[in-house]
Amino acid sequence: MKVNKKVYLIETVVLLTLFFLLFFSFNVHASNLNLDVKSYILMEKETGKVLLENKADTPFPPASVTKVMSLLLIYDAISDGKIKYDDIITVSKDAASMGGSQVYLEEGEKQTVRDLLKSVIIASGNDAVVALGEAISGTKEGFIEQMNQKAKELDMKNTHFINVTWLDAPGHEMSARDIGIVSRELIKNHPEVFEFTTIWQDTITHNTRRGSSEFGLTNTNRLIKQYPYTTGLKTGSTGNALYCISATAKKDDMELIAVIMGGKTSADRFDAAVSLLNYGYANYGVTIIKPKGEFVTNIKIGKAKNDLVDVETKTQISYLRNKGQTITPTEKVTIYEGLKAPMTKGTKVGEIEYYFNDDCIGRGDLIIRNDVYKASFSDNMQKQFSSIFNSK
């Protein structure tokens, strides 16, 4: 059978032309996704680089996305040893009186920190987050003050909290960028949050004077079921805020944060988040320069027992690149002057930076790998004798 080479060639050219037109169209117009929401931002976790944004600095009511800040403070408290997962918290009258999304805690009911956390993250329980806030700060008002203080520390310029949970209130607002900032802070410092954010359904046990009963929890984040790379994080909706979400996802070692504010419907916010995430994964990639804990150099520390001390990276260091781009960065290591023993393992002693075309594309802290002990008199004498004998 003869093949018409001319027809075959024309068909091939047409197919290739269509492919390149589709590819070119996607990459040129992807930044203009025409998302029908009030504002949005797409951020890469490791570098914090913003990939797309629209009205990202305009403050809006955040609804239950407020709880991302609450969760950051709760996990900070656990990390600092102020509270533990197995601690028992007695629910106050104020916490039990919270309306809206709740897990129906009763005054005097006892719950573990772990189950209250599950209730906040999975079911967006307002009563649970107030109970945890009171356990950390003593009062709900004290916890709100702590939330605002943390916002200042993180340079969240367009955020102000009036309440712990979600309630629409004059002056209670956040911008999409600020939600991205606090979401990044939470998942970078406390990746253990994903233990709960990825659960679709679970239960807690109510322990009251009337006895024990199970209560079902269902995740408010439908992306857990609908988008395969979803890792979290928090949804929210009220009459004024409309439908919001801070959506986190991970694919091919790249973690993205997509914040949507003011979707007209619940489906709008999820569809918008997926559009942003798909854009990020289609156009960008992350390259790991150095993993966490990798040896970088060894240094001398004044008055130390050991002559040389190993230095390593405190966290993973990565850079963000356009898909298909190849980068060979240059490395700059800075060690602080005047370091003296004793020093504890993990103490910051310098920084490491990576540059490409004079732009800093990656940065991280350098820490000592082990404890550094101060040299004793006998240690110093031994060093002097060793130097004398080695010099001969």
What are the Cα distances from residue 53, in Å, to 43, 288, 319? Answer: 9, 25, 20
Distance CA 79, CA 129 (A): 17
CA distance 86 to 84: 5
Catalytic residues: 64, 67, 124
Cβ atoms of residues 232 and 220 within 8 Å? no
Residue 297 identity: T
Q: In the Cβ-directed half-sphere of 150, how many Cα atoms lie within 13 Å?
A: 24
Backbone angles phi, psi at 252, to 5 degrees: 50, 45
Asked whether 150 and 69 are in contact (CB, 8 A), the reply is yes
Taking phi over 0 as left and psi of -120 to 50 as alpha, with beta for the rest, 55 belongs to: left
The dihedral built from the CA positions of residue 61, 49, 155 and 367, taken in this order, carries a sign that is positive
Q: Which residues lie closer than 8 Å to 268 by C-beta, 6 or more apart?
A: 36, 37, 243
